[in-house]
Amino acid sequence: MRVKKYSKTTKQKARILRKRNGLSYKEISDNLGIAKSTAKLWCEDIELSIRQRKRLYTKQIGILNTGPHSSHERRKREVEIILKNSEKEINFPINSTYLKLIGASLYWAEGDKTKHFAIINSDPFLVKFIVVWLKKTLGVEPERLKAHLNIYPQQNEKEIIKFWADLTRIPLKNFGKSFVKPVNKNYKKNILYYGTIKIRVSKGTDLKYKVFGWINALLKNIRTDVNSTERKWHKLKTDYLRP
């Protein structure tokens, strides 16, 4: 292996950069086109001033905080690995029973369980999933869905309706009057880009009870435990105060 030779002038320049400018071995290496190990060999006997050492220390901390070895970047890579590995745990196509329960769980968490079969959300992915799920599991076409928006006065209602119609394939004529939130002192600057949409199944009362049945089946193994615990702690139940 041939060792690369450098001129005395190059060595002198390296020592000047170290002594006068307080450059790191990496900076000297980049400036002169020499190996970092060579820069260290030539300059490690040079004692830096307090100011120069402080600059290098600050620079090193900055590299650790923002470079590929920073805890933030390292954690980001770890999360990416977790996501990729967990995606592989899901096998497609999804079993019809699992698909029913996924949508039922979302309805249980996000749905309107009073008068209508409806779900309210602002996440385009969740909304699109529900629309597809309704068609696949309950045979409800987008044309049968009604929609209403909840937006802010500074948002463009017509454009947002077009966005949701394009995403869900719900006809524009099926969008009812939007609720526009009034501006007040607690005005939010970071508003939702697309507002919040409420999707309702027209004449979907029976479908609502059908999904309730799926949820009941999901809860069958824990229902007895929950009921007995609620009876034990019934004293926690209170009535609303009346004027």
H helix runs in the chain, sequence order: 8-19, 25-32, 36-43, 50-66, 71-87, 96-110, 124-138, 157-168, 205-232
Question: What's the rounded Cα separation, in Å, for the pair 204 and 206?
Answer: 6
For domain 96-220, the CATH architecture is 2-Layer Sandwich (3.30)
Give the residue ranges of the chain where pLDDT is below 50: 1, 242-243
Contacts of 115 (CB under 8 A, 6+ apart): none
Identity of the residue numbered 146: K
Amino acid 243: pLDDT? 46
Domain boundaries, the chain: 9-71, 96-220
According to the model, what pLDDT value does residue 183 have?
Answer: 72
Q: What pTM was estimated for this model as a whole?
A: 0.66
CB atoms within 10 A of CB 108: 16
The pLDDT value given to residue 242 = 47
pLDDT tens track for 44-86: 999 999 888 888 888 877 766 666 666 777 788 889 999 999 9
